[in-house]
Structure formats: C-alpha cells, structure tokens
Amino acid sequence: MENTEVISEFFSRDIPLATKFLDLIDELNNSLEAFRLPGEVQCVYNPTIYARHPFETYVQKYCNTKKPIMYFGMNPGPWGMSQTGVPFGEISSVRDWLRIEGPVEKPPNEIAPRPVKGFECKRSEISGKRFWGLFKSICGTPENFFSSSFVYNYLPQQWMKNNGCNLTPGDFRVAQMQPLFEICDPIFIKVLQLYDVKTIVAIGKFCETRAQKALDLYLPGNSIQILYLPHPSPRTVNNNNWDKKAVECLKNLDLLKYYTNSEGSYGSIDF
C-alpha cells in the first residue's frame, strides 16, 4: 500500500512530464550503482550522465507530452547514443533532422578503442542511421513522429570489454541478469504509465521478451500491446534492406497511419 501511494504521489505532482521522466532516469542511474556487473564487462559508458545536455534537450523537446507509442530499445550504441545522448543517436540524424546539438563531456573511464568525441565524432552508427532515416522518410518532420511516439532504452549504459568489444544484457544468461531486471523493469513500467503508453514497439527480440515479462510481473491484466520490429543492426542475420522490411512491418502492424506528413503521404517511401 505504501509503494502504491508513493507512485501515486509521483504521478500527481504538477510538474512537466519531461522533468518527471528525467527524475526516473536519475532514479534508474542511482539504482544501477548497486548492480554488480558481470566480470566480462570491464568498461561502462552512461551517456544520460556525461552527454546530459543533448539528452535533456531530446527529452525536453520531444518527450514532454503523453505518447501512445513507445519504441523500445535495449541500450546505447558506441557511435550513436554514446556520442550524442539521444537513443539511436547517429550524429547526422540527431544534428540535422532532430536539430539537437550540444556539449558532451567524457565518461569517467574512457578507453582508447571507443573514444567519446560527441558531435565531433566522424563515425556513423548504422542502426541509428537506419532507424531515424526510416522515420525521416516516412514522417518528413520530427514533430510528425513525436506527436504520437518516442524512443526509450531499457538500459542507459553501454557495456564493453577493455578492447572495446561491445556487450549487451542479451549476451548473458538470464540468471546473471536477474538483478538488473529487478532494477530496470520497475522504471520501464513507470515510464509506460507516465506517458500513458498503449503500444510498445519492441526493437529486437531481447526487448520483446523483456517487455512481456515486465508487464506480466508488474501490470498483470494490462491492455498494452507489444509489437515486434526487427533491430536495424547490421549484426543481425539477413538484415539487408532493413528499411523496406521495417516499412512493411509498420504497415502490417497498422502503425503507418500515425506518421503521415502534412501532405497526407508517407514522405519518400515507395510502397
């Protein structure tokens, strides 16, 4: 009963939605300090901390209203969000389409194979370029995407070995990750409730599984639907022509209707 009252008080406070969301991210980051990382993880970057300026800009600019649709990702990529602080944050997409730019500090333990150069980084993240490129083509403007949707990552941390090799929660046994799930699941649920999400578009199988388990545990009997979108990563097998496959997927899931541009069409996408 006490926990229910605390949650109710949180959602009833008369403060901007974006501020409440940022408070939840801070709560998550504080709780993650107690998580014992697997031994294979030798370096952690958290761009919601060191890239706070562009991350907050993203939240304040695009995540300050209720959203029926959440695009649910796993964690930051090395040349995307880890550089810009924005989910799937490939640099040119963030700077030129989302119109977000700003100072990015250094993570506490930066490693040479994965330098953080912020918006000066010359590398492009394929996943982010594909993801935001798709919605640029469909929506025309960011406002047409964010009027109904936003992107949220389950874990704000990028995990690596000292040689820069990327590791994700999906690379480990479920038993190893259970303490992490107990930290991240409740925040994920609070974000869903904060934005009054009706549809979760899980990007990749890890997120599809995690969303279902979290809802079953914390919101049994809920009416939130979980839909699956293949991950845009080039590491995914048979992932050529991802944009065309993704458009067909969105069409089949009846989501394209949310993203018509001002002319009532779907940008430059050829159906």
Whichever domain contains 121, its CATH number is 3.40.470.10
- Residue 11 in domain: no
**8-22, 40-54, 67-81, 224-238, range with the lowest pLDDT:** 8-22
- Do the domain assignments include residue 161? yes
In a domain, 91, yes or no: yes
CA-CA distance, 205 to 113, in Å (whole number)? 28
Q: Examine residue 95 and state whether it is found in any structural domain, yes or no.
A: yes
Residue 75 falls inside a structural domain = yes
Three-state SS at 148: coil
The residue type found at 46 is N
Number of domains forming the structure of the chain: 1
5 within domain boundaries: no
Q: What are the tokens at 163?
A: 């040689």
The domain in which residue 56 lies consists of 38-258
Burial letters 109-144, b for 16+ CB under 10 A, else e: eebeebebebbebeeebbbbbbbbbbbbbbbbebeb
Q: Tell me the pLDDT tens digit for each residue of 94-150.
A: 999 999 999 999 999 999 999 999 999 999 999 999 999 999 999 999 999 999 999
Does residue 236 register a pLDDT over 60? yes
Residue 25 lies in a domain: no
Q: Rounded CA gap, 231 and 139, in Å?
A: 20
Give the Cα-Cα-Cα angle 250, 252, 255 (nearest 5 degrees).
40
| Residue 267 covered by a domain | no
Whether the Cβ atoms of residue 81 and residue 89 lie closer than 8 Å to each other: yes
Alpha helices in 90-173 (DSSP H): 91-92, 126-139, 142-146
Query: Which residues share a beta bridge with 71?
Result: 151, 201
Give the tokens for residue 234: 């080039």
- The label of the residue with tokens 């469909």 reads 138
Please give the Cα distance from 225 to 236 (Å, whole number).
Answer: 24
Locate 38 and state its tokens: 């697997």
What are 39-61's pLDDT values in tens digits?
999 999 999 999 999 999 999 99
Model pTM? 0.91
